[in-house]
Structure 1
Amino acid sequence: MNALLKRVWIGLATALIVSLAAGVLPDHIQMYADGRIHLGAPAPTPSPSTAAPTPESTSPPLTRDAVDEVIRTAVSAAGLDPSQGRPTVAAGANSNRTGWVAVRENTAAQAEMNAIGADLERQGWTLNPNPNGDRSDASRSYKRGGWYLLVSTRGKTQAPSTTSTLTDSQTYLTLTGLQLNLADIPLPEITVRIG
């Protein structure tokens, strides 16, 4: 009975690891009909007659300067002056992070957030699925060229510092950019047989 319970726990742990890895790096998970699961770099194809799947096309990598320009363009498209806000990361301080923040009235912030998102999509950014459902006031994440942009509003209770000067009718409108390349994170090659 103890050996059976151990096999069940190992199977559950393996299933959890595989499902998490499949969500983060789907092109590094291979499941075979005989129950084997391969984690890591794609295994070589068994036969040269079988064509390898075509990798998903991606945008060329973007520089931080290009992402800063995307942010300025999207903010301007929402009817705002980018100079009325402030950068969240100093120029030249970090090449893989950037951002912009401005104090806005609650009544206008949602429409401005929507306009910024619409312009990001016009510029070729892809909207990520929203884990918070389809709420219109939820933060939105966009991706392109190895960068992720989060567009959100943060009220007084979520302000970046305790010395916030926000009134009850104001919020922070923020764009936060982060460069991530998940393909560069090495996964160990593991082959597991279930069953």
Structure 2
Amino acid sequence: MNALLKRVWIGMAAALIASLAATVLPDHVRIADDGRIHLGAPESMASPSAVAPTPESTSPPLTRDAVDEVIRTAVSAAGLDPEQGRPTVAAGAAMNRTGWAAVREKASAQSEMDAICADLERQGWTLNPNGDRPQASRSYKRGGWYLVVSTRGQSQAPSTTSGSTDSQTYLTLTGLQLNLSDIPLPEITVRIR
């Protein structure tokens, strides 16, 4: 019985890791029709039914200050004052992370998120649709940064932001710099039964 439970836990852990990897690294993770997960597999090994990832625009690497300006511009384009929210990472605290969050009315948060996303696309950010839920969160990439726009949950909001009521939600933009192009990934195949 212990061996069976151990196999179940290992299988569940592998599925969770693969799901998270597919969300964060869609260019490096492929799930074949037969249930096999390929990490770092060359393009020739990909399943014929796999959807080709959207290529990232060839833009120079961005600095945190540039991403902060992108966030301010997108928030302003949505008709919001960036000062209505708060930064989720203190200035100078981390050069590879940034963000902004504000408590918004649920009735308007979706349209504000849509306007922010439209401005990000206008600014040249590439939509990264893997794992997105259009009504709750969308992720974009550009210049080594990933930017997630979300209208749900308190878990992503900074602790200094006041709590929300039932008619309110958090509108957040979370930026994370990842330079994955220099990391060679070995080919790993996992079969989940």
Identity %: 77
- Residue equivalent to 2:28: 25
- Partner Cα separation in structure 1 for residue 153 and residue 92 of structure 2: 29
How far the C-alpha of 1:158 sits from its partner, in A, is: 7.2
How far the C-alpha of 1:165 sits from its partner, in A, is: 2.2
> Which secondary structure state, in structure 1, belongs to the residue aligned with residue 118 of structure 2?
helix
Amino acid corresponding to residue 145 of structure 2 in structure 1:
W
How far the C-alpha of 1:181 sits from its partner, in A, is: 1.3
> Which secondary structure state, in structure 2, belongs to the residue aligned with residue 186 of structure 1?
coil
Amino acid corresponding to residue 80 of structure 1 in structure 2:
L
Please tell me whether Structure 1 or Structure 2 has the larger radius of gyration of its CA atoms: 1
- Residue equivalent to 2:145: 147
Aligned with 1:183 (options 164, 181, 184): 181
TM-score (normalizing by structure 2): 0.65
How far the C-alpha of 1:62 sits from its partner, in A, is: 0.3
- Partner Cα separation in structure 2 for residue 110 and residue 103 of structure 1: 13
- Residue equivalent to 2:74: 74
Amino acid corresponding to residue 170 of structure 1 in structure 2:
Q
> Which secondary structure state, in structure 2, belongs to the residue aligned with residue 171 of structure 1?
strand
- Partner Cα separation in structure 1 for residue 155 and residue 173 of structure 2: 18
Structure 2 stretches of 5 or more lacking a match? 1-17, 30-39, 46-54, 189-193
Tell me, yes or no, if the aligned pair for 1:68 and 1:98 is still in contact at 8 Å: yes
- Partner Cα separation in structure 2 for residue 170 and residue 144 of structure 1: 30
Alignment of 1:4-43 (within 5 A): 23-25=26-28, 29-30=41-42
Structure 1 stretches of 5 or more lacking a match? 1-16, 38-54, 191-195
How far the C-alpha of 1:56 sits from its partner, in A, is: 7.5
- Residue equivalent to 1:48: none
- Partner Cα separation in structure 2 for residue 56 and residue 127 of structure 1: 9
